[in-house]
Amino acid sequence: MGVTEYYGLALVDARAAEYVIGSDVYGPMGRELVPLATDADAADFLKDHKGKARVTFDAVTGEMLAALDAGTFE
């Protein structure tokens, strides 16, 4: 399973990517997890785009996604 990482637009393993949640960047479907290829990219993106948290693939929950969709992620 792959995702397109934000900066280089390369296909990366979805389980290896790090995701920023709650940022000011919207995807085609609105609010979403933004995949980044490296920890450094995720840290920079979080800071530059007012993200709320960095999460790994295994840490993503249904509740997180529902809160994201509702615009209530803390």
> Where along the chain do its domains lie?
2-70
- Which of helix, strand or coil describes residue 66? helix
Going by the DSSP 8-state scheme, the letter that residue 30 receives in this structure is: B
Q: Please list the pLDDT of the chain residue by residue as tens digits (74 residues).
A: 999 999 999 999 999 999 999 899 988 888 889 999 999 999 999 999 999 999 999 999 988 888 887 766 65
Cα separation, 53 vs 2, in Å, equals: 21
Per-residue pLDDT at 47: 97
The pTM assigned to this predicted structure is 0.87
Cα separation, 56 vs 61, in Å, equals: 10
Per-residue pLDDT at 72: 66
Cα separation, 27 vs 39, in Å, equals: 21
